[in-house]
Structure 1
Amino acid sequence: MSTAEELRARLVTALTGAGSLTAGWAPSLAAVPRHAFLPETIWADFDGGDTECRRDEDPGRWLRLAYADVPVVTQWDDGAEDGGRTVPTSSASMPTMVAGMLADLDAGPGHRVLEIGTGTGYNAALLAHRLGAGNVSTVEVDAKVAGAARSALRAAGFAPEVVCADGSLGWPASAPYDRLLSTVSLRSIPPAWLSQVRPGGVIVSPVSPLLGGGAVVRLTVGDDAAASGRFTRSSAFMLLRQQRYVGAPVDDYLPGEWPGDAGQSWTRLDPEDVGGDWPALFACALALPDVYYRRHDYGEGRMWWLFDTAVTSWATVDSAPGQPRFEVRQFGPRRLWDEMEAAHDRWAAAGRPGYGRYGLTVTATGQRAWLDEPGNALP
């Protein structure tokens, strides 16, 4: 069986060879033992599925998972102890993503860094190894997770500031920071972060629009406490707890039987073609930040439901294999499918751009997405 040191060395070699790991961060990933930050029971999709893996039952597989280039789930359902596993709520991120986001952060000696989402503590250890523990503060909302991370960090020889608090508020006690790194995804960048990062400083965070898709954004903070920058890579992170969204019941939109008084039309755009194309869905989501969807199967087809968060409008689109057109029903002051189709058409007309052509500008009062340059805001 390979040792932890051998597995870690192979991981660093693989990440370096793939161009994911920069020279500046390679010594930290080579030095910090990822397995030392994982609990005894983990879940990961590697070498045969994402079944539970207990260290005491299969130590070899547990160690391989610790150094595989996969995300490792460490908590379900906010730590509920009823034995169920519905939604993963804490994890150790995929090493490729960890390395890429550290490269985006571009932190170096002398920089003060705030991390949002301590999780296992592994990322904080990497930051502390390179920057010094005194330059690193990390915030975790879950007291049990924060406590476990603090213990793991100390056992591994690192002592950054670990705080149990609401990450959406940052951590003003140790501000200002040169860099802010979020390992949880957001619907919108919190205004508090802008005021806690120095002008010229950098914020790196995953962004997950309500409609779908997700990508990491790299923002530079200006003298006016606004921040702007481009998306760098696709991502799928757990959401900041304070920004989780639960949609209203369908009956709040549609009292009575479907389709009610909804108008009928037809479209040649299959909603499944949008939902199955991550860049397309992301582009539509940036253009429609207050729209979300649900869908359900029936027979050989699938119905998409679009809703607005103001609970004023809804739309349905039937998707059936092999059909030349699809029935649309829309109700309310907004025609949500028309808006969705228009956003998709603009994305296609722009050359089907990927994440790197999109960006975000954030101020104390809100944020807006743009294509190619900040002046070209999405409608």
Structure 2
Amino acid sequence: MRGTREKAEVAKQSLLRAIKGDLGSLAPEWERAFVAAPRHRFLPSLIWLDVKDRWVPCVREKEPGRWLEAAYANSPVVTQVNDGRPPGADGVWPSSSASAPSIVFRMLEMLDIHDGMRLLEIGTGSGWNAGLLAARLGGDRVTSVEVDRALAERARDVLAENGHGPLVVFADGAEGYSGRAPYDRIVSTCSVRRVPYAWVEQSRPGTVVLTPWDNPWFCYGLLRLVVAEDGTASGRFAPHSAFMLMRGQRSDIRLFRDLVRDEHRPDESFTGLSPWKVTTSDRSARFGVGLWLGDVWHAWDEDPEENGAEARLWLATTDASSGSWAAVDWDGKQKDRFRVRQYGPRRLWDETEAAYQRWRAAGDPGPERFGLTVTRDGQVPWIDRPPTGIGRATLV
């Protein structure tokens, strides 16, 4: 037992040094929270490790050394797969995780928390983040909402066992939690494509709302909003990390099940814009294009069953009812001429080209130049500064 405690202490100190190295420094109050809420105490016995692009189980009682190494690595740890169901025909896919410690503490410091504040966390997960927040503010100041009943119950028990007493609520985080509103800070541990307006409604003026960002085109970035007196919230993106999407915002659209039909007769044209420039080039291009496109996703087919096509980029929307799709083909030879087919009321490749040209015209901006304004009616992206007036036509 003593050997195990010593190994855990060495691992904790190593992780703390890694966090400070990544962030440059760590505020004393967060270092104290790190000590008060050790990460390994919040992880379940069964975790899942990425081994050669396969998720394999690791059980603490069977592989204590390997489990402890994962617990104190500066990396995310998958704590649940398949929404808690046994893996089946759809394989093994992560559905909950403990985020990488460096990004956890980066987000905590971005919140700019002060004594006496009331905080709402969206996505309890393992409970570690809630434990850190409770260690900093006191459990009576922290409310954490979890959409998965099993995760909520486990986190509530683990937090109590470790002397932390935040309120853990089993509910849909998109609705926030009005029972303790208004809040001074709201932080989400899952990414969103649309910022729930309930978070703004349950905030005081001046409240910071911090959430990872997801886009069907490119999942990347953190969004830090500040709530205004007029019931809107505006803020900028930061170029950090990718998180699992909020469950209520997931989509299950499949090209040949939901969109593309044999009887479709798409319009054909050619483009000089390489599809790789908007999908596999630098992160800034993908982020900007995706933010402007809003609800458009893409998928590569590296072996299309069609003569004359060596690779194909498919585009579609997250709403199958739109009936719109596009395909861009590379013939394996040309570098500046690609065949385009587009079907439906929206011309998705035309929209993609326009978004890319807009990004170039703005000077190839990175995520930190982009921002978002959230209102009761929707949200609008912008570059450099919020718009002075937001009409319904500009909201996405």
Report the secondary structure of 2:245's partner residue: coil
Which amino acid letter does the alignment assign opposite residue 53 of structure 1?
A: C
1:285 match: 290
1:126 match: 132
2:360 match: 348
What are the ranges of 5 or more consecutive residues in structure 1 without an aligned counterpart?
none
- Of residues 247-256 and 106-115 in structure 1, the stretch that sits farther from structure 2 once superposed is 247-256
Report the secondary structure of 2:237's partner residue: strand
Picking from 366, 371, 375, the partner of 2:383 is: 371
1:229 match: 235
Distance 1:251 1:36 in 2: 44
Does the 8 A contact of 1:177 with 1:198 survive in 2? Answer: yes
1:273 match: 277
Please give the TM-score of this superposition, normalised by the length of structure 2: 0.89
Distance 1:82 1:287 in 2: 36
Please give the TM-score of this superposition, normalised by the length of structure 1: 0.93
2:208 match: 202
Does the 8 A contact of 2:222 with 2:240 survive in 1? Answer: yes
Q: For 1:1-379, what aligned pairs fall within 5 Å after superposition? A: 3-19=7-23, 22-23=26-27, 24-45=29-50, 51-82=56-87, 85-247=91-253, 250=256, 252-257=258-263, 260-277=264-281, 278-298=283-303, 301-308=310-317, 309=319, 310-319=321-330, 323-324=334-335, 325-375=337-387
Which amino acid letter does the alignment assign opposite residue 17 of structure 1?
A: G
Residues 320 and 213 of structure 1: CA distance in aligned 2, closer, same or farther (over 3 Å): farther
Which amino acid letter does the alignment assign opposite residue 251 of structure 2?
A: Y
Give deviations 1:326-348, integer Å, cap 9, x for gaps.
Answer: 21111223221011011112212
C-alpha RMSD over aligned residues = 2.3
Give deviations 1:203-236, integer Å, cap 9, x for gaps.
Answer: 0001212222321100000011110000113331
Residues 68 and 75 of structure 1: CA distance in aligned 2, closer, same or farther (over 3 Å): same
Distance 2:123 2:147 in 1: 7
Deviation at 1:279, TM superposition (A): 2.3
Deviation at 1:47, TM superposition (A): 11
Deviation at 1:50, TM superposition (A): 5.3
Report the secondary structure of 1:119's partner residue: coil
Report the secondary structure of 1:53's partner residue: strand
Does the 8 A contact of 1:46 with 1:70 survive in 2? Answer: no
Deviation at 1:92, TM superposition (A): 0.3
Report the secondary structure of 1:51's partner residue: strand
Distance 2:334 2:32 in 1: 55
Does the 8 A contact of 2:371 with 2:382 survive in 1? Answer: yes
Report the secondary structure of 2:23's partner residue: coil
Residues 4 and 366 of structure 1: CA distance in aligned 2, closer, same or farther (over 3 Å): same
Deviation at 1:185, TM superposition (A): 0.9
What are the ranges of 5 or more consecutive residues in structure 2 without an aligned counterpart?
none
Does the 8 A contact of 1:20 with 1:96 survive in 2? Answer: no
Which amino acid letter does the alignment assign opposite residue 40 of structure 2?
A: H
Amino-acid identity (%): 45
Distance 1:27 1:369 in 2: 37
Count of paired positions: 377
Deviation at 1:144, TM superposition (A): 0.5
Report the secondary structure of 2:239's partner residue: strand
Give deviations 1:75-126, integer Å, cap 9, x for gaps.
Answer: 1111012567432111100111101111111112111000000000000000
